[in-house]
Structure 1
């Protein structure tokens, strides 16, 4: 075997601050295996997790293992006492215990590690796995369209029922609206957590959307920050974006500025309408005040004339 081939060796050591249970669960997720098979790797004896690798591939596997909390190392390819496919001690050349039937005392084999997938399988309705930026945008657009369609159906049903019984329409609309809201929140959390996993972050950080001010910046980070190029503690990277994903993401990116323009236009129209209403109200108030002033002037003039007639002295006639 050539000297430029390498292997990943693990002897059960963990990185500082990483618990054994956490590391085992991370390895089980990374290798798509069960915890029982992973337990056999923590014997304290060297185990070859992956063999016959180039230097770049070995670095990629080592990074994924480091993210899982495992203190593995890269070594030049050479015979070792233990491998992932053969977890019993190698005996003398004269005795062949490589087969389990040859030695009834050999521990079970732990055939994990060699099957590390290049890309993970997409899982939509779960908090496990990873999704990239464009796929996050595409799924968000699909979720928004589905919500609008469902809201339209609920409104149509509500209006139809309202003609027969307004009370039943209110109750039915409230129940369906609440169910739609819960479904929207659940799916949003699932795709948000998968996006956080792609960044190598814990899904619990999604709760930052509930923090004031932070929730105005945090969603932008999910759209802007690139995910981990290789495998991390949450699994292998997501598969490449399909044409449909790219189209949906482009539509969503075009939809955001369109909604901003529509919002600004509606806001400006509302402001102008309010300003015009205030001006009309002020004009009517000034007109009413002017009319009242005129009426008061007429009343004052009439009162003055009446007072002058009452106080005028009578004039004697010529006959007197």
Structure 2
């Protein structure tokens, strides 16, 4: 027999509808979003989390390229000052500092490739697909007459297809990521489109002027 008073019923309803309880329910239904700065291939990434990771990787890559460019310019400048014969600059660079510089670039490239492959694998996990599909989608882009279709398929799979709403072999669904990466990506794409339009306009204007009309 139910001996609960109206007050008890009200308290239970309040507890069940409270924000803390809703948060607990959400935590029970979802797995945490895997961190960006990791080399673990476990877990799932939704579309927004995938885009956030790509934008972060683009920003870090740009910063690293700037730093390496500055270091390279300073190294070449110092070597040219210390050399009596500037024609020996390339030979001296490749026999000394240049070797270390190339090794660092190669190591960073390998780490970046592993990191980028992880992005795609986690996104495929969200669809319930094996991470090995990334090999087909990646190398398929280099196959003649098939590469274009493989590239289109990759864009649709990584950016458009929603993940499975229920638990799959790679874990439970994860919460939706921040939309900041999507906004930044859209801005970059818009700037890129404007740049291409300006280049086409400039080339067309130059060709028009050369015709003499």
TM bracket, shorter-chain basis: 0.5 to 0.7
Bigger Rg, structure 1 or 2: 1
- Asked if structure 2 preserves the Cα contact closer than 8 Å seen for 1:200 and 1:227, the reply is yes
- Cα deviations across residues 133-174 of structure 1 (Å, max 9, x unaligned)? 011111100000000000000000000111122414643443
Runs of 4+ deviating beyond 4 Å: 270-273
CA distance in structure 2 between the aligned counterparts of 1:179 and 1:205, rounded to whole angstroms: 25
Structure 2 counterpart of 1:218, from 125, 142, 153: 153
Going from structure 1 to structure 2, the CA distance change for 1:202 and 1:262 (only over 3 Å counts) comes to same
Q: Is the 8 A contact 2:125 2:131 kept in 1?
A: yes
User: How many residues are matched?
Assistant: 161
Alignment match, 2:5: none
Q: Does 1:236 align with 2:147?
A: no
Answer yes or no: is the 8 Å Cα contact 1:159–1:169 preserved in 2.
no
**Residue 189 of structure 2 is aligned to residue 256 of structure 1:** yes
Select the residue among 15, 18, 30 that pairs with 1:119.
Answer: 30
Bigger RCO (CA 8 Å, 6+ sep): 2
> Post-superposition shift, 1:194?
0.4
Question: Which structure features the higher share of helix residues?
Answer: 2
Q: Distance in 2 between matches of 1:193 and 1:271?
A: 43
Residue number in structure 1 paired with 2:102: 174
Structure 1: segments with no counterpart, 5+ residues: 1-115, 281-320
**Alignment partners' CA distance in 1, 2:186 and 2:202:** 25
**Cα distance in structure 2, aligned partners of 1:182 and 1:224:** 28
Equivalent in the alignment of 2:111: 183
Quick check: 1:161 aligned with 2:161?
Answer: no
Segments of structure 2 that go 5 or more residues without pairing to the other structure are 1-26, 80-88, 141-146
* Greater strand share, structure number: 1
